Structure 1
Amino acid sequence: MGAHPSETNHLVNTSAMQDDLATLQRETFDYFVHEANPANGLILDKTEANWPASIAATGLALASYPVGVERGFMTRSAAAERTLATLRFFWNSPQGPEPDATGYHGFYYHFLDMQTGRRAWQCELSTIDSTFLLAGMLAAGQYFDADTEAETEIRSLAEVLYHRADWRWAQDGGETVTHGWTPEHGFLKYRWEGYDEALLLYVLGLGSPTHPLPKSSYTAWTATFRWEHCYGYDYLYAGPLFIHQLSHVWIDFRGLQDAFMRSKKSDYFENSRRATYVHQRYAADNPRGFEGYGEHCWGITASEGPGPSTLKLNGIERRFEGYVGRGVPYGPDDGTLAPWSVAASLPFAPEIVRPAISFCIHQAKLKAANAYGFKAAFNPTHPGASGNAFGWWVSPWHFGLNEGPVVLMIENDRSDLLWRLMRSCRYIRSGLQRAGFEGGWLRELEPGSTPAA
């Protein structure tokens, strides 16, 4: 399923590839236009019937609306109206220990009823999903800078909603931050430890002017990191590809170094580049012998799958999983790939991502007849339902959490839009500096520095 190297170079450089990316971005953006409740701004987590909203998807939508305006997908006034409805909803929604509230201590429940905005499914108050929501609010506050009544209110609400989050409460007396809390059982036993998507969480927590995390919390988090050597690369290990992407959707880590990365003579952006290559090399190596894997067909991350089930295929008993955090190189790996996770690596390694996106669109036909770009996942080893058009399993759903990184990372690769917005946010700058980051674009903020050309 691979291409000759000369074909790869052709794929990387053609205007057809630019057209493919523009179309993919536009179609993916439509998820946030249509899978929403305009009255409260909430965004559907998943396109399955009777599904609730996701606060992370809602945060990604808030960050994506500026892309929509800049690319002509929606008007500035429509984007401001949708953004303002979202921020007003969260500001006015019930905060408290009641089991049917929307949030507590400035954080919000992972899933909310699309209509009422109240907690769904007895889910947890999620610190990481609240982080993505608050980051989306801050991005909106940076983008909507006009001296109009609506945009002034957007900026004001973004600030007070961010200020309300009580990060110290979320530590529950420990150094690191807990995953969340429920009214029924209190704080979850799990904490944000080990390299994961919480890089953004700690930056926002450290940058808070009202309830900041202590600097020691960041030191405690980085003390749990694992540096590994894999497929010829030395890198900070995390198995699922999304971990190497989600914080980078918001923050431009090129050249920025904290104490950990200074000690490794690297940075988190370079680390994500290496991780992207590790994922591609793993797929080309294909140690478990799954169908389809190759240099242009990869992308293992947390995703939906065809299981849970066990099938005997070509004399081999295969165990397939449902929604799990698939990872490289240690697994779990059941042959399920997520094309959105390839697109979200575009800024890190465009030379291998562009051919893979082209493969997913043109050879695997993973965008055909889909309203919102790529479906969530596919598995060429699993036969799927009988009579399906692909001949293998393809997820029937779209997820808001997958759509946002595609829109935003394509845009960061094209124009740095979200990165520029967040560079101008004083809370992001403060959080990075309190975490010990230096260099990169932060250097331009140092006294006596000369702005980069």
Structure 2
Amino acid sequence: MKKVLLIITLFTVLTGANAVSLAQTAGSTTYNPDLKIKKGLTDKQLLDLVEKQTFQYFWDGAEPNSGLARERYHVDGDYPQNDKDVVATGAAGFGVMAIVAGIDRHYITRKQGFERLQKAVNFLDKADRFHGAWPHWLYGETGNVKPFGKNDDGGDLVETAYLAQGLLCVRQYFKNGNAAERKLAAQVDKLWKEIDWNWYRNGDKNVLYWHWSPNVGWQMNFPVTGYNECLIMYIMAASSTTHGIPAQVYHEGWAKGGAINTNFKLYNYKIRLKHNGPENQVGPLFWSQYSYLGLCPKGLTDRYGNYWNEVKNHSLIQHAYCIDNPKHFKGYGANCWGLTASYSVNGYAGHSTHEDLGVITPTAALSSYPYTPEYSMKVIRHLYEDLGDKVWGKYGFYDAFSETDNWYPKRYLGIDQGPIAVMIENGRSGLLWKLFMSCPEVKAGLKKLDYKSTYLAKK
């Protein structure tokens, strides 16, 4: 947990006092968001409105040269515009999945979506990479790395995994299309195969390292072990047909030789995967979301756990906690729950049941929609109908708010917006799950790690 909090701390430094307003530099002047609150929408209508408006963060609000997701977008104008061209690679991965969903929902035409994704893939093909891995941040105008921290100026394998997860969905969506679409799919396949996952073992160690820099090497010294948001990195690394890792790296590194297992209950919901951090506690909800935008947890098991039970119970624990509301924060309840890493009243924080600062982050409950559809829907309706324009803007719900502190910043973070659009779509149709789980190398990688899944039986 200390290692994950180190990343959060670095992010706080970089995004707190130096955060920016992009309101007058991002996107198109022709986009007219639906800001008028409409009472009485059906659940289907409201879900579609939220998904469509959130999708616009990655469409209208994208960095124009790359076509990819900006790190952040501030509507409230609190900060100088000093990183309006910064692309976040993890959010970019979520964003390309949102665009695929947007095509399928007819928010845009297939041709429009293809052209944007072709632009994005062309940019990524020429952008800085480090043994095939992209950095955390890229300058959208040049494709050059923007350091995330003093020693973090090279490859970021976790963010690369999020991006690769999204790119494989793009590949699968277009692989049987027209000639241009098949060419795009082949270009994505090339980028995916160039990622040297095995290099990030730091000398054949049986664990994956988060960072490597051509300037300072392994100085970040961040071996990644579970359980947290990084499962997808190990799945992708095991699935690579060109630079794959042996199964033992997963079992000894991620699963810590079996020490990843635990057995406790919170609010009467059982947890079997030990979250990094305090004993018998669970982390922020993004730990049960980022890895599962493509990787389908339904029916997914291995020797360590049943992943559907784990992600669902994680969400149900937070739902029960916010109803219990032991710290008596204003607004918490069945209609207003969800704690995850986001903006906070003082910078940035990894909100959770054991680090509760009175801040609700909409992405937490909304991106749990496939796990807790009824409970998540109550949050969507309450935020939209009751809190309205305090929390609703041109790209959907703002990043975070606190009724206790009367704090309603009009700000977005790409890495929080992406899971909303993708997971609502997965809850509605399973589209991104179906695409990612259809990848033959992902099926082979899961089998290598002794996973079981209903998708593994499908041709």
Which residue does 1:234 correspond to in 2? 270
Q: Equivalent of 1:251, from 274, 295, 304? A: 295
Name the residue aligned to 2:345: 306
In structure 2, the residue matched to 1:199 is 231
SS in 2 for 1:175: coil
Preserved CA contact (<8 Å) 1:367 1:374: no
**Which residue of the other structure, out of 126, 141, 144, is the alignment partner of 1:118?**
144
Query: Is 2:248 the counterpart of 1:222?
Result: no
Distance 2:160 2:82 in 1: 22
- Structure with greater Cα Rg: 1
**TM-score (norm: length of structure 1):** 0.83
Distance 1:245 1:198 in 2: 10
- Contact preservation (8 Å) 2:58, 2:68: no
Moved more, 209-218 or 179-188: 179-188
Equivalent residue number for residue 337 of structure 1: 360
Which letter maps to 2:160?
A: S
TM score, norm. by length of structure 2:
0.82
Q: Is the 8 A contact 2:260 2:304 kept in 1?
A: no
Query: How many pairs are equivalent?
Result: 394
What are the residue-to-residue correspondences of 1:14-53 with 2, within 5 Å? 16-48=42-74, 49-51=81-83, 52-53=86-87
CA RMSD in angstroms comes to 1.7
* Match of residue 170, structure 1, among 200, 218, 221: 200
Q: Which of 371, 377, 396 in structure 2 is aligned with 1:373?
A: 396
Residue 326 of structure 1 pairs with residue 351 of structure 2:
yes
Equivalent residue, structure 1, for 2:430: 416
The answer as to 2:175 corresponding to 1:145 is yes
The runs of 5 or more residues in structure 1 that have no matched partner are 1-13, 94-101, 262-266, 308-321, 383-391, 446-453
- Aligned counterparts of 1:278 and 1:58: Cα–Cα separation in 2: 29
Matched residue, 1:158 = 188
Tell me: CA distance 1:105–1:412, structure 2 relative to 1, closer, same or farther (3 Å): same
**Are 2:127 and 1:83 aligned?**
no
1:288 aligns with 2:327: yes
Distance in structure 2 (CA, Å) of the matches to 1:379 and 1:103: 39
Offset of residue 55 of structure 1: 0.7
Q: Secondary structure at the match of 1:206?
A: helix
Q: Which of 411, 419, 443 does residue 429 from structure 1 map onto?
A: 443
Does the Cα contact within 8 Å between 1:253 and 1:440 map onto a contact in 2?
Answer: no
Matches within 5 A, 1:260-275: 260-261=304-305, 267-275=306-314
* Deviations 1:129-173 (CA, angstroms, capped at 9, x unpaired): 111111111110000134433212211111111111111111113
Cα 1:281–1:368, aligned 2, differ >3 Å: closer, same or farther?
closer
* Cα drift, residue 444 of structure 1: 3.4
> Residues 368-407 of structure 1: matches in 2 within 5 Å?
370-382=393-405, 392-407=406-421
Structure 1 residue 181, shift from structure 2 partner: 2.0
* Aligned-residue offset at 1:226: 4.9
* Offset at residue 367 of structure 1 (A): 6.6
Structure 1 outlier segments of 4+, above 4 Å: 366-369
Q: Distance in 2 between matches of 1:367 and 1:246?
A: 26
Maintained 8 Å contact 2:342/2:416: no
TM-superposed deviation, 1:33 = 1.0
Which letter maps to 1:288? K
Partners of 1:84 and 1:153 within 8 A in 2: no
Give, in whole Å, the separation in 1 of the partners of 2:94 and 2:394: 18
Matched-pair contact (CA < 8 Å) for 2:390–2:408: no
Q: What is the CA-CA distance between 1:369 and the residue it aligns to?
A: 5.3
Give, as a single letter, the amino acid of the residue that structure 2 aligns with 1:305. S
The 2-side partners of 1:368 and 1:241 are apart by: 20
C-alpha separation in 1, matches of 2:360 and 2:70: 23
Shift of 1:20: 1.0
1:289 is displaced (CA, Å) by 2.1
* Long gaps (5+) in structure 2: 1-39, 75-80, 276-281
Aligned to 1:210: 242
Aligned partner of 2:21 in structure 1 is: none
Shift of 1:116: 1.0
Query: Which deviates further from its counterpart, 352-361 or 39-48?
Result: 39-48
Specify whether residues 439 and 182 from structure 1 end up closer, same or farther in structure 2 by C-alpha distance, changes over 3 A only: closer
Secondary structure of the 1:112 match is strand
Listed one character per residue, the Cα deviations across residues 218-243 of structure 1 (whole Å, up to 9, x for unaligned) are 11212342533211011134410010
Displacement of 1:64:
1.5
2: CA distance, partners of 1:156 / 1:198? 27
